[in-house]
């Protein structure tokens, strides 16, 4: 049994390589039972600010997992900042024993930091990293990905920078521009129903937004802009192995959409 969260398909791609039918956290979080029991249970998730997205944290807190082998794979783009250690601590606090945790570097979809056209050109050796992880999982290896003092220092610097940002900035990260044609794709790819079509135009509702950027990356009109500077407002990303329909199936919160 494998659960995943994704905004732009990286984590879904990894999950699909590990198990044939991984389960989407934005869908499963609303369902019963609250209790999962399996020989092997895994989570694949991106890291946001070196930590799990809030919805993945909520999922881990809400559900009970009974398994002989529990593992977490964290996808990241540029700097994991000791994400494995932070995630391990979070799981310990939830009473979840993690047998294996690893990180895998992929395209960084964080638009304020990276130009997607440049990111797509960088070979991050994803297939080799994935091959090693699958080999570990096949023998149920016990390991938490090592974290260095430099990783910890990077996370501390990040926290200090965050302390200086305007409170609530991350819940007001998006602006729908006049380019919106009301196609509704943003509404369908949003895992938290934070963007909805009203009078044939997308409207953003803050509060529960995961800042996964699924809406921004998937908009065919590039009509969703960030309220902070972007490296390249014309460049958008979706993992090359994952279709738009798969992101919609993973995230859509409106059954009739």
**How many whole angstroms separate alpha carbon 123 and alpha carbon 117?**
13
- Least Å distance, CB 7 to ligand FMN, is 3
Q: Which is nearer to ligand FMN, 131 or 200 (CB)?
A: 131
Q: Which of 110, 189, 190, 223 binds ligand FMN (CB under 6 A)?
A: 110
251 binds ligand FMN (CB under 6 A): no
Q: Which is nearer to ligand FMN, 80 or 236 (CB)?
A: 80
**How many whole angstroms separate alpha carbon 1 and alpha carbon 67?**
10
Q: Which is nearer to ligand FMN, 162 or 198 (CB)?
A: 162
**How many whole angstroms separate alpha carbon 106 and alpha carbon 93?**
28
Close Cβ partners of 83 (under 8 Å, ≥ 6 residues apart)? 47, 50, 51, 74, 76, 103
Residues belonging to the chain: 257
Q: Which of 17, 27, 78, 253 binds ligand FMN (CB under 6 A)?
A: 78
Sign of CA dihedral 58, 192, 158, 101: positive
246 binds ligand FMN (CB under 6 A): no
- Please list every residue from 44 through 73 that binds ligand FMN, using CB under 6 A: 46-50
Close Cβ partners of 54 (under 8 Å, ≥ 6 residues apart)? 210
**How many whole angstroms separate alpha carbon 249 and alpha carbon 184?**
14
- Please list every residue from 203 through 222 that binds ligand FMN, using CB under 6 A: 211-213
- Please list every residue from 172 through 201 that binds ligand FMN, using CB under 6 A: none
Nearest to 8 by CA among 42, 46, 57, 43: 46
79 binds ligand FMN (CB under 6 A): yes
- Span of 7-15, 63-71, 175-183, 201-209 interacting with ligand FMN by CB under 6 A: 7-15
26 binds ligand FMN (CB under 6 A): no
Residues in contact with ligand FMN by CB under 6 A are 6-11, 46-50, 75-81, 106-110, 211-213, 239
């Amino acid at each position: 049994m494998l659960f995943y969260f994704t905004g732009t398909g990286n984590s879904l791609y990894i999950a699909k390589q590990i198990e044939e039918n991984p389960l989407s956290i934005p869908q499963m979080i609303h369902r019963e039972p609250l209790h999962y029991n399996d020989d092997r249970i895994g989570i694949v998730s991106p890291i946001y600010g070196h930590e799990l997205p809030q919805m993945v944290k909520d999922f881990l807190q809400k559900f009970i997992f009974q398994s002989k082998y529990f593992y977490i794979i964290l996808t990241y783009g540029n700097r994991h900042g000791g994400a494995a250690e932070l995630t391990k601590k979070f799981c310990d606090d939830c009473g979840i024993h993690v047998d294996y945790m690893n990180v895998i570097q992929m395209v960084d979809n964080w638009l304020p930091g990276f130009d997607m056209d440049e990111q797509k050109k960088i070979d991050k050796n994803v297939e080799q990293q994935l091959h090693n992880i699958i080999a570990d999982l096949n023998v149920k290896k016990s390991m938490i990905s090592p974290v260095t003092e430099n990783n910890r220092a990077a996370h501390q610097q990040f926290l200090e920078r965050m302390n200086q940002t305007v409170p609530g900035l991350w819940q007001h990260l998006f602006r729908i521009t006049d380019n919106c044609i009301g196609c509704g794709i943003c509404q369908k790819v949003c895992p938290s129903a934070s963007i909805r079509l009203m009078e044939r135009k997308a409207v953003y509702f803050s509060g529960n937004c995961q800042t996964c950027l699924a809406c921004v990356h998937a908009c065919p009109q590039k009509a969703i802009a960030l309220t902070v500077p972007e490296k390249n407002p014309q460049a958008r990303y979706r993992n090359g192995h994952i279709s738009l329909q798969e992101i919609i199936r993973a995230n859509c919160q409106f059954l009739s959409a």
